[in-house]
């Protein structure tokens, strides 16, 4: 058994969103979702099981976390310990290449990398599907960061049926996600909480039906590299997710004034003939989707917009992989 291992995972951006669960404990989603791994937004995580430790030690970005994040990491390590048949505590260090908790799926890359590193360190050998199922229980969207490229997460009533798999490799389509950072502070209501409030929205059932209709259309558009069809459906789906969030009780409003300003700007650019669409996760930052040919022009326009602090330019990214070097 190797006692130490390191894994790296990309965050992912969902085109059909995971928003609402049929089972909270197992994190089984209401609807299937589709995403793309983001090659410039990664989490690297080292896990070492050490018999000398009395408790798990979790360091995120150099700072020790004794709070909520560390508890969630420990609970996930318990799942791996149960599979390995060990009780040994672990030292965990994790580093992101992007700001945490700002609407980039930091829990997705974090729990995908944690799953792969912890399994490797504990000597638990799982195939991609089993890793995806395990990552899902840590954070739903994390299951989509295990496979490569463009990914679909199946909805099912059983844990074994709800895993993610690749529908196309990164090289299939030169789609870009330019993330316009308008907020780097931790959002006030995390997606775990938002996911749990879905049933309180009067629009939940309508949005679910629309997500189920949109999914095959978005899958087809990705496979056919049909940017206009892809963008139209993806933008509408994001707005539907936020309509549910806004009409939940309590109401969740993730958009800042800069978010709305960018939504208008992107639509105006489109009217001028510059093909770009937006999607937004549970935060204020705007993910601007375009093809490689227009990424330079759109990136320059985004950087010139007031309120945009940084732009993280992503291409389709790889799946979770083990690295040779460790963080400690």
List contacts with ligand DP6 (CB under 6 A): 14, 17-19, 27, 33, 105, 107-108, 139-141, 191-192, 195, 281-282
One-character DSSP codes across 235-248:
HHHHHHHHHHHHTS
Q: In which region does residue 239 sit, left (phi positive, over 0), alpha (psi from -120 to 50) or beta (all else)?
A: alpha
Least Cβ distance, residue 175 to ligand DP6 (angstroms): 16
Residue placing its CB nearer to ligand DP6 in the complex, 109 or 148:
109
Residue placing its CB nearer to ligand DP6 in the complex, 70 or 108:
108
Residue that has been written with the tokens 């490797």 in this structure: 120
Least Cβ distance, residue 144 to ligand DP6 (angstroms): 7
Least Cβ distance, residue 29 to ligand DP6 (angstroms): 8
Residue placing its CB nearer to ligand DP6 in the complex, 163 or 269:
163
Q: What is the CA radius of gyration of the chain?
A: 19
Q: Percent helix, strand and coil across the chain, each rounded to 5?
A: 40, 25, 35
Strands of the chain (E only): list them: 4-16, 21-23, 28-29, 33-49, 57-60, 63-64, 90-96, 150-153, 164-168, 175-181, 277-279, 286-291, 310-314, 321-323
Residue placing its CB nearer to ligand DP6 in the complex, 8 or 107:
107
Least Cβ distance, residue 277 to ligand DP6 (angstroms): 16
Q: Which two tokens stand for residue 139?
A: 């954070």
For strand 57-60 and strand 90-96, is the pairing parallel, antiparallel, or unpaired?
parallel
HSE of 177, CA atoms in CB hemisphere, 13 A: 31
Residue placing its CB nearer to ligand DP6 in the complex, 57 or 152:
152
Least Cβ distance, residue 306 to ligand DP6 (angstroms): 26
Least Cβ distance, residue 102 to ligand DP6 (angstroms): 12
Residue placing its CB nearer to ligand DP6 in the complex, 11 or 48:
11
For strand 321-323 and strand 90-96, is the pairing parallel, antiparallel, or unpaired?
unpaired
* Short-list 302, 294, 199, CA closest to 258: 302
Residue placing its CB nearer to ligand DP6 in the complex, 26 or 323:
26
For strand 33-49 and strand 90-96, is the pairing parallel, antiparallel, or unpaired?
antiparallel
Residue placing its CB nearer to ligand DP6 in the complex, 88 or 319:
319
Least Cβ distance, residue 9 to ligand DP6 (angstroms): 13
Least Cβ distance, residue 239 to ligand DP6 (angstroms): 13
Q: Which two tokens stand for residue 111?
A: 């729990």
Q: How far apart are CA 26 and CA 10, in angstroms?
A: 22
């Amino acid at each position: 058994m190797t006692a130490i291992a390191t894994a790296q995972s990309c965050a992912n951006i969902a085109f059909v969103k995971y928003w609402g669960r049929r089972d909270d404990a197992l994190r089984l989603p209401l609807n299937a979702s589709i995403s793309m791994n983001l090659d410039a937004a990664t989490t690297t995580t080292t896990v070492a099981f050490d018999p000398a430790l009395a408790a798990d030690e979790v360091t995120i970005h150099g700072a020790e976390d004794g709070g909520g994040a560390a508890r969630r990491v420990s609970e996930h390590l318990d799942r791996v310990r149960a599979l390995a048949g060990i009780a040994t505590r672990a030292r965990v260090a994790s580093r992101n290449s992007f700001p945490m908790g700002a609407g980039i799926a930091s829990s997705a890359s974090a729990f995908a990398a944690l799953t792969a590193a912890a399994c490797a360190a504990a000597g638990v050998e799982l195939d991609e599907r089993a890793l995806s199922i395990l990552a899902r229980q840590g954070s739903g969207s994390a299951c989509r960061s295990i496979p490569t490229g463009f990914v679909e997460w199946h909805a099912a009533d059983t844990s074994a049926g709800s895993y993610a798999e690749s529908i196309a490799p990164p090289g299939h389509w030169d789609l870009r996600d330019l993330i316009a950072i308008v907020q780097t502070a931790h959002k006030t209501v995390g997606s775990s909480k938002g996911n749990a409030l879905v049933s309180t929205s009067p629009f939940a059932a309508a949005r679910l039906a629309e997500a189920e209709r949109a999914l095959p259309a978005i899958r087809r558009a990705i496979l056919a590299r049909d940017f206009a069809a892809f963008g139209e459906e993806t933008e509408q789906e994001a707005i539907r997710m936020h309509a549910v969030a806004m009409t939940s009780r309590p109401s969740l409003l993730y958009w800042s004034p800069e978010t709305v300003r960018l939504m208008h700007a992107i639509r105006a650019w489109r009217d001028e003939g510059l093909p770009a669409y937006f999607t937004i996760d549970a935060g204020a930052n705007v993910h601007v989707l375009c093809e490689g040919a227009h990424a330079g022009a759109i990136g320059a326009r985004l950087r010139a917009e007031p309120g945009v602090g940084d732009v993280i330019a992503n291409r389709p990214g790889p799946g979770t992989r083990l690295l040779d070097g460790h963080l400690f």
